[in-house]
Each structure stands twice: as C-alpha cells, then as structure tokens.
Amino acid sequence: MAETQAYTAISEALKALGIEAQNPGTSTGSKSMNGGSLLDSVSPVDGSHIASVTQTTPQEYEQVVQTAQEAFKVWRLMPAPQRGEVVRQFNEELRRLKEPLGKLVSYEMGKSYQEGLGEVQEMIDICDFAVGLSRQLHGLTMHSERPGHRMYEQYHPLGIVGIISAFNFPVAVWSWNTALAWVCGDVCIWKPSEKTPLTGIACQKIAARVFAKNKLPEGISCLINGDYKVGELMTQDERVPLISATGSTRMGKQVAQTVGARLGKSLLELGGNNAIIVTPDSDLKMTVIGAVFGAVGTAGQRCTSTRRLIIHESIYDKVKNALVDAYGQLRIGNPLDEKNHVGPLIDTDAVKNYQKALEKVVEEGGKLIVEGGVLEGEGYESGCYVKPAIAEAENHFEIVQHETFAPVLYLMKYSGDVDNAIALQNGVRQGLSSAIMTNNLREAERFLSVAGSDCGIANVNIGTSGAEIGGAFGGEKETGGGRESGSDAWKVYMRRQTNTINYTTELPLAQGIKFDL
C-alpha cells in the first residue's frame, strides 16, 4: 500500500511521541521475537497499516503483575500530595504533547482532529482534578457510644487497578481511571482496545518518562496488549482487586460475572441508548445543534451519542425538516482535515452493523428520511466512511432498543405532557445519558425529578454527549452502574476502613454488653 498523505502527516506526530512505526503496508501476522503474536494497528482514515505491536503472552503478563505488586509497595507509602506532584508532571507532558497525541488519536481511531485534541484536553483536565484531590482524600469522624473512645474512617489504596478501555475514547477513559488511582496510591495495568494499540503505547511512554524522572518504579504504570484473552488474564486474577471496564453491555456482563465470582470489584461503563426530548417550549436552533453533534460526533461512536429524538407531535415536522437541512450540510471525510464534520467508522465490521441497522429499521416499519450508505471513491478507500442517517421509528422496535455504534438517529413522536416523553426515554434497557430541550421550568424540573430520567446523566438544554470531568460519569441499568471521573468517584479506587481508638484504662463493650472476668 502506498504511503498516503494522511500517514505522512502523522509521521511527525509519532516521532514526537517516541513511536517508531513501520512504513505502511500489510502485516504478515507472524509472531514477534518474544513469542507474542503481532497485533496490527490499521487507520480507518485511509486503510494504512500504521504499525504492529506485540500481544502480551501469559508469561509476560505474570511479569507485569509482579512488577506492579513491587511498585505498589513503594507508591502506597508516598504521601498523597507527593503522588499528586507526579501526576502534575504527567499533566505537563500532556500539555506539551497535546497536538501530536491528539493527531494520533484522530488517525488511529478516526474521530475528527478537534475531537482528538478535546480528548487529550480531558486527560489534562482530569489530571488537574486529581492533583487537587491528592490533598482531599478525606474520611469522617464519628462520635462513639462508649466514653473515652474515638471513631473515624480512612481510605487506603486497593493495590492493582486493571483497566480495559474501548476504541472510541482510546486515551481519555484510561486517564480518568489512572489519574485518580495514582493519587489514591494504586498502581495500574492497562489493556487498551486492540483496535487502537498505538495510542496506548504513546501514553505509556509519556508516563514511563515521568516516573523514571522521579526515580519511581516502572510498575506504577503498566501496559498489556492483545484481544479479549489478554483481558481475561486480568479479570480472572485475584491479585487485581478492581477491574474498570469500558465497552459493550455484552462484554461488561462477562467481566462482572468473572470478577464477581472471585468477589472482586468491577467498575463498568457500558452501552448507551441516549435520547433527547424536544418539547413545544424548546429552542429550535439549540435543539438542532445539540441533536446533530450528539448523533454524528465521532461518527456516532460515543457511548453518549444521541440515538433517539423524542419530539412533541405539535412541532415534529418543524424539527424534522430542520434536521434534514442540517444533515445536508455535513462534510464527511479525512478527520485530520478540520473542514470535515464526520470521519470514518472504526472498521468494516462497524460498517456492516450500520448497514444491518438501516435494513432492520425499514423491515420493522420505519422510514428513512435521510438515507445512509457507504461512501466510495477518492478519499474513501478504507471502506469505513458512511453517511449519517435519520429514520422515523417507534421506541418498541427491536433495532431501536439496541445500541448501534454508528451515526443512525431515530425520530419518534410523543403526545400529551412531558411524562409521556419521559416514559419513552426510560423505555430502553440502557441508562447512560439523557437530555430535554425546553424553556419550561416545570418540564425541566420534572425531567430531573425522581419521576424523571432514569439515566446517570440528565441534561437540560444541552445534548447527551460532552460530559465534563467535574461530575461523576456513568449510568444505570445495562450501562453497568459505574461512576468515573469527578465528584467522589475516587472512592471506588480505595478501600474504606473504620477505626476505633480507646484511650482509657477500661474496656466497655458496645451496645452495653457486659462481659466481666
């Protein structure tokens, strides 16, 4: 395969990140010198084979865990503010390398360059949050019922945190976990998606330089590469007390069962089927912007992507026509070109799922009002570019109940009051993100009340995607119930301990129990 213009542009970014990639071509799929099979990184932008990385063998995994265990003995004893200082230095490296890392994210995953930069900014933001948090890992003090006693609780690090991340946010979600885990005193082993291994290597190289500069053990940050079998090494390992996994609901159920069987802890961020409710009191311009970005941003491959638009019947045609006009202005192409709005899907398997979804919605009685299709010709040689589509559908359709990781938006009507729309919004198995577009205070408050959205994220007059790191991120039902990033999400990376101190010469028992000798 000839070297493409996009690949040439990315070469400098790879060099800045310390990665020596092969010339584009076709991998032989052979084994590396250490025995691990080679894993190919192929860009959906132009189909270029960027590089091959070695998959971790069981023997290498064992070495990684032992290295992490030894590093934990050192890292846990360092005062949390000092750990925060190391995270601050990592943050500075991210700021310095924001452009090349953002470009690599864009090229390897396929999201727009602006979104790639935004993802690295998320890394920077969570590091800022973690640095401040390093001086606030607080417990509580409680009054004891026994005289001369003091009770309090404190938090200790868990040990090794295993992180399994997805291709759609190849670096941000890792940083959500590691930045908090590191300041909490944990060490981390990361298995990035097998579809985006180079971004994982880039982040590991950055972290390794920072830890080496501070003369700290390399095992504080560890990387393993490979398919689901490599991930299973962690989920089955009793030495890894917490597994944080991001991906499909199907994958999350397998992780939960495996980790639960050994009574480990799991933090799950799984599928979404997110809706925006559009009421008669909505602002049309804001609605269109929020819905279009939510539906086509990252080519519909966000867990918070907008899948459903629930529109009041009185304004349905008005909103539909505005969306059709907006979709007609979308530019699809190389995500490194900032003039384009939509890049490729991650691979041709994703394209097939997209096509099946469009066929299925029509079979079930829906109607395509913005027809999709696979793009061909110059600039689309990878076979991963598709047209964002809009279909009129019903909430009960099987395909609507299912999360399709592609730019397919389903429109549906509601009548009556906002409670009817909320029922449709909640009428799916997933519960990640939700939004309502309204200038009616009563509708907004109803949506946010206990009788409103059942999702972990509920927004008013903004879309379903674009969460800030200050708030806890996660969802309910088949989204898994996990929480990452801001608020008090740090507590999942630590073990809680209640302490009682007796500073008298007597030993009274709780609940007034007498036990005299």
Q: Enumerate the active-site residues.
A: 269
d(C-alpha 64, C-alpha 36), whole Å: 15
Cβ neighbours, 10 Å, residue 49: 18
Q: How large is the angle between the packed helices 5-16 and 98-109, nearest 10 degrees?
A: 140
Distance CA 270, CA 482 (A): 9
Across the strands, what pairs with 459?
435
What's the DSSP call for residue 2? P
| 380 in Cβ contact with 4 (< 8 Å) | no
Q: Residue 69 carries which DSSP code?
A: H
CA distances from 119 to 3, 179, 253, 271 (A): 27, 15, 27, 19
Which residue is associated with the tokens 């690295």?
120
- Report the relative pairing of strands 367-370 and 160-164 from DSSP bridges: unpaired
* Chain Cα centroid distance, residue 386: 23
Rounded Cα distance, 194 and 206, in Å:
20
Q: Where are the beta strands (DSSP E) in 401-514?
A: 408-414, 430-431, 433-437, 457-460, 472-473, 476-477, 484-485, 494-502
Task: Report DSSP state, residue 397.
Answer: S
Contacts 24+ apart (CB under 8 A), 36-43: 36/60, 36/226, 37/226, 39/194, 39/197, 39/225, 39/226, 39/227, 41/108, 41/196, 41/197, 41/198, 42/347, 43/6, 43/7, 43/10, 43/107, 43/108, 43/110, 43/382
Euclidean distance between CA atoms 456 and 478, whole angstroms: 11
How many degrees, rounded to 5, is the angle at CA 198 between CA 8 and CA 236?
A: 165
Reduced to 3 states (helix: H, G, I; strand: E, B; else coil), residue 34 is: coil
Nearest to 411 by CA among 380, 448, 370, 460: 370
H or E segment at 163?
strand 160-164
Please, are residues 305 and 297 in contact by the beta-carbon 8 Å criterion?
yes
CA separation for the pair 167, 81 (Å, rounded) = 32
Residues in the chain: 517
| Number of neighbours of residue 109 by Cβ within 10 angstroms | 31
